[in-house]
Structure 1
Amino acid sequence: MRRGAESDGAFSLSTPDSPATAPLISAGGGVEYLVSITYGGADVSVILDTGSSDTWLVQSGFSCVDASGAAQAEAACGFGPLYNGSFGAGEKIADQNFNITYGDGEFVTGDMGYKDVTIAGLTASHQEVALGTYAYWNGDSISSGLLGLAYAAITSAYAGTVPSQDTTQEPYSPVFTTMYTQNVTSPMFSLALQRGANAGYLALGGLPPVTVSGSWARAPILQSVVRRTGMAEYAFYTLVPDALVYGGRSHANSAQYIVDSGTTLVYLPSAVAQAVNNAFTPKAKLIASQGGYFVQCNAKTPDFGVTIGGVVFKVSAADLVYQNQRDPASGLCLTGVQDGGSGPYILGDVWMQNVVAVFDVGAAEMRFAAHSY
């Protein structure tokens, strides 16, 4: 389980009527979603992540380590094809390094530099990207890195060349930001994540080719206080749902949630997560050794939904029990709704598989409609 110049005519400008669309790849039975990109001339599959902002590949010859930093065989990190290139003359950024740790504890460090990055036929020219040279990773044996689609405030380049001594973040323009500032696309993208073999779409500058039902709902993207400046900036795709629906009624909500395609599950406040998991028949069990709620794999699932802009978006029963993620001792299946402690709370793939999500950066809002498939 996994916890973002003026056009010279060389690029085609996508619009809501003619978005640039890329099909997605489901890895690990819906544990994560991948998209194909071209990075410095290499065609690769990478994790699609709206919860971070850096785009990186792991470099051939990298050092694979475990969570404590002990050396492991390269294969233990589970990456797909490794990037055989490097930053050439004039591409590597001197006195800067890449250093990121994700919510599940995975980490990658390496070098920063410039490459052209192409997604769905649209290119971000001279894009600042990273090459990972040292990593703790639990990969899917398909993806070679990650595409981050969130804001510049949470990019992970730092001054200096020694990651263990990093203190000074040096923010830069992420791939999607570069695309719309170079007038390659309009400042919005959308996602339709789908369970099953047809894993859905990423659409740049418009909507994906899928069917929606009901009304569209909207919510403003909220700023967050950034540690580097102590000021509120756009960082994650954060919103406040009106309510959470469980236990047969609607419960008003005031907590902030991040809409994150790079996180598999939904993470809720502790009391809410417990109530939802108690509503399975039979009840889900918290297994401390596995760090999550597990349930009989054929359990009756509860009704659970998220209300945004007055519209309730329910989670399908198919997304509330992960049949291929089991506790080895009991054989119970992982539930799709987990305890987020004190936060951040996350609407991950379990919820996103039930909506079409529009990330309208230009309007600073998100829009959602029920995804019919």
Structure 2
Amino acid sequence: MHNLFSHSSLSALTLLATLVSASSSLEDVSQPERARRGLLDFEIDIDLNTRLIAELGIAITGNVLPLTSSGITLDVGFGRGGHGLVENVSAGRSYAITINIDGSDYDVILDTGSSDLWLTKHDFVCEDVNGTVIEQKECYIGPGPPGFSEGSIDDQIFNISYADGEFASGGYGFGTVSYGGVTVPKQQYALVDTLYWFGDGFTSGLIGFGFPSIIAGVYKDPKSHNHTSPMYNPWIFSAIENGDVVPGQFTIGLYRRGKNDTNGSPGGFLSLGGTPAPANLPYTGVWASTPIIQFQSPHYNISPRYSTYHFQVDGFTVNGEFMQWVAPIQNDTGLTAPSTLDIGTTLTYLHSKVVDAIAQAFDPVPDRYPEVFNQYYPFCNSTVPEVSFRIGGQDFAVNPRDVLIGDAESNVSNGFCTLGFWSRPAEQEADGYLPSGPLFGANFMRNVVAVHDVERYQLTFGGVHWD
């Protein structure tokens, strides 16, 4: 979920949400049950996976927490984009965790494309797309804490905008924030007083696991701070710095949604301090690490810094044919724009040449629909090509159900499904000073576990085979 600054029309968001929410044409069995069956039916080489994990410097952790599903999406097109379960919310487009602030529990969206933790104030103002004040209930978001238990910050403002046009603004303060058995006292976070939001009805805000450099705070009086931005450690970095998450690694694994899953249903897991043991997940034995790439822009006087989880892709394979990677060039560095891994994005956005190569391998070959975002919508009964992405020298296969997604009951007639890989508009994928690089979203992440090592600045991917 990126705090980009492009906007989409509400009608487009509604349509796109319809496409994705209709993507659950899966068997009528809960994901935990499907996972259990998968472990029974899939032969796992525990020794091999244990050795590979150790060789890559990844710890095994038992602090594995659930993610739950959320209908929120911050995709530019869709609207959204401890060891514990990650819950799917609504249509499973985003994922939520339960945190505790000052003794009270709150469900919040997990996002790796931003860094702040924010929740709503009790008296927040809800606005529509035109900035008109509407009833609070129209934002479909739960209440946050009544106030900051450990003091507020008077000279800072929280202000974030998302790719779909949603935004949140308010003030910063401090409180005790706990998750997965890890408690961070006097953690800085934001309470929002103005909001334009497509909520899910049960989450109360969002927690970002991105790097500190992209926090969304500004000073009320920039001149008094030499026009610099405020800086603080987001919750995950506070926990690591305090020695409560050791090593400084967290892992995300996403389940595939069942058609009867609802808001709050199990959607995956988030583990703190490493990755789950090989005996507990259907690991394929394919593992690879790749450096997290710093963002920089000499043209805009932005020095190299870690921001979101950028990485390079070696190439991709379609039906056994390997092809070189294609991405825009950043003009002021001469480098290929890196890819980004983001749990808050529903689909995967690639260069049009990559998307075309995948689409042309379908049988029958689908058409693009200019009236529906100019994307491909294959027949649901199409023969789906084998697709994999090479990262760190290893090929990670994408399940056919993540290549061709659901039943697109919208402007496209029934019987069509959504291609899981979308291209950006031509002007966005062109070379430039801030080109839009590839963005790997949840449909890719359902085929791997992603270990985010923020101490060694690397991403490690482990292939998984859900049923």
Tell me how far apart the structure 2 counterparts of residues 247 and 211 of structure 1 sit (CA, whole Å).
Answer: 24
1:159 match:
219
Out of 261, 264, 267, which is 2:349 matched to? 267
Number of aligned residues: 356
1:209-358 alignment runs, 5 A limit:
209-225=280-296, 230-246=302-318, 248-253=320-325, 255-291=337-373, 292-323=375-406, 326-328=409-411, 330-331=413-414, 332-340=416-424, 341-342=428-429, 343-358=436-451
Higher percent of residues as helix: 2
Find the partner of 2:148 among 87, 106, 110. 87
Offset of residue 69 of structure 1: 1.7
Q: Check conservation: 1:290, 1:327, Cα contact below 8 A.
A: no
Question: What secondary structure, in the 3-state scheme, does the structure 1 residue paired with 2:349 have?
Answer: strand
Query: Relative to 1, partners in 2 of residues 1:296 and 1:138: Cα closer, same or farther, differing over 3 Å?
Result: farther
Mapping of residues 24-43 of structure 1, within 5 Å: 24-43=86-105
State the one-letter code of the partner of 1:262: G
CA drift at 1:28: 2.9
Q: TM-score w.r.t. structure 1 length? A: 0.87
Measure the CA separation in 1 of the matches of 2:367 and 2:231.
42
State the match for 1:367 in structure 2.
Answer: 460
Structure 2: which amino acid aligns with 1:69?
Answer: G
- The one-letter amino acid of 1:335's match is L
Which position in structure 1 is the counterpart of 2:26?
A: none
State the secondary structure of the residue aligned to 2:306.
Answer: strand
Question: Residue 240 of structure 2 aligns to a residue in which SS?
Answer: helix
CA drift of 1:193 comes to 0.8
Kindly provide the CA deviation profile for residues 49-97 of structure 1, in whole angstroms up to 9, marking residues without a partner as x.
Answer: 1111111112222222223322333233222x21151124x52110211
Identity of aligned residues (%): 31
Q: Are positions 1:16 and 2:88 aligned together?
A: no
Q: What letter is aligned with 1:307?
A: R
Task: Confirm or deny: 8 A CA contact 1:327 1:333 kept in the other structure.
Answer: no
Q: Secondary structure at the match of 1:207?
A: coil
Change (3 A) 1:76 1:283: farther
Report the 3-state secondary structure (helix = DSSP H, G, I; strand = E; otherwise coil) of the residue aligned with 1:235: coil
Which structure: greater strand fraction?
1
**Structure 2 contact 379–417 (Cα < 8 Å) conserved:** yes
1:187-210 Cα offsets, whole Å, 9 max, x none, are: 111111111354221000011342
1-structure distance, mates of 2:2, 2:379 = 23
Q: What is the deviation of 1:226?
A: 6.4
Query: 1:97, 1:85 → 2: CA distance?
Result: 18
TM-score (norm 2): 0.71
Alignment of 1:167-182 (within 5 A): 169-182=229-242
For the structure 1 residues 68 and 226, does the alpha-carbon distance in structure 2 shift closer, same or farther, using more than 3 Å as the test?
Answer: farther
Worse-matched range after superposition: 277-286 or 190-199: 277-286
C-alpha change, 1:325 and 1:226, in structure 2 (3 Å) is farther
Mapped contact 1:222–1:234 kept (Cα < 8 A): yes
In 2, distance between residues paired with 1:70 and 1:277? Answer: 41
SS at structure 2 position matched to 1:179: helix
Would the aligned equivalents of 2:254 and 2:446 in 1 still touch at CA under 8 Å?
Answer: yes
Q: Which residue does the alignment assign to 1:7?
A: none
Q: Contact between 2:119 and 2:145, CA under 8 Å: does it hold in 1?
A: no
Query: In structure 1, how many angstroms separate the alpha carbons of the residues matched to 2:180 and 2:285?
Result: 28
Residue number among 127, 142, 152 corresponding to 2:202 in the alignment: 142
Quick check: 1:47 aligned with 2:115? no
Asked if 2 retains the 8 angstrom alpha-carbon contact of 1:153 and 1:226, the reply is no
Do the aligned partners of 1:65 and 1:135 also contact (CA within 8 Å) in 2? yes
- Contact 2:398 2:444 (8 Å CA) reproduced: yes
Q: Distance in 2 between matches of 1:288 and 1:111?
A: 42
Q: Quote the offset at 1:140 in angstroms.
A: 2.0
The letter of the residue matching 2:174 is: Y
How well do the aligned residues superpose, as a CA RMSD in angstroms?
A: 2.4
Quick one: distance in 2 between partners of 1:168 and 1:37? Answer: 31
| Max Rg structure | 2
